[in-house]
Amino acid sequence: AAQKAELIERTTQMLVDVLGKNPASTFVVIEEVPTDNWGVGGISVTEQRRRATDRR
C-alpha cells in the first residue's frame, strides 16, 4: 500500500511539474493485470517467468 501511495503521489507531481497539470483534477489509476492476461513476444508473462525459473 505504501508503494502505491508513493507512486500516485510522485506521478501526480511529475504531471504537475512537466505538464502544468492541476493536481486536484489529476487522476492516477493503478490497474494490476494478472500475468496470465498479458504477454510479450507471443508468450504470457506467467510463462516467461516460469521458463526463467526453470533455467536457474
The Cα-based distances of 20 to 7, 15, 16, 23, 30 in angstroms read 18, 7, 5, 9, 21
| CA-CA-CA-CA dihedral for 8, 40, 51, 49, to nearest 10 | 10
The Cα-based distances of 11 to 2, 3, 22, 28, 31 in angstroms read 14, 12, 12, 7, 14
- Give the per-residue pLDDT at 56: 84
User: Per CATH, the architecture of 2-55 is what?
Assistant: 2-Layer Sandwich (3.30)
Lowest mean pLDDT among 22-26, 47-51, 52-56: 52-56
Domain ranges across the chain: 2-55
* pLDDT tens-digit readout, 2-47: 999 999 999 999 999 999 999 999 999 999 999 999 999 999 999 9
Distance CA 13, CA 6 (A): 10
- Give the per-residue pLDDT at 5: 98
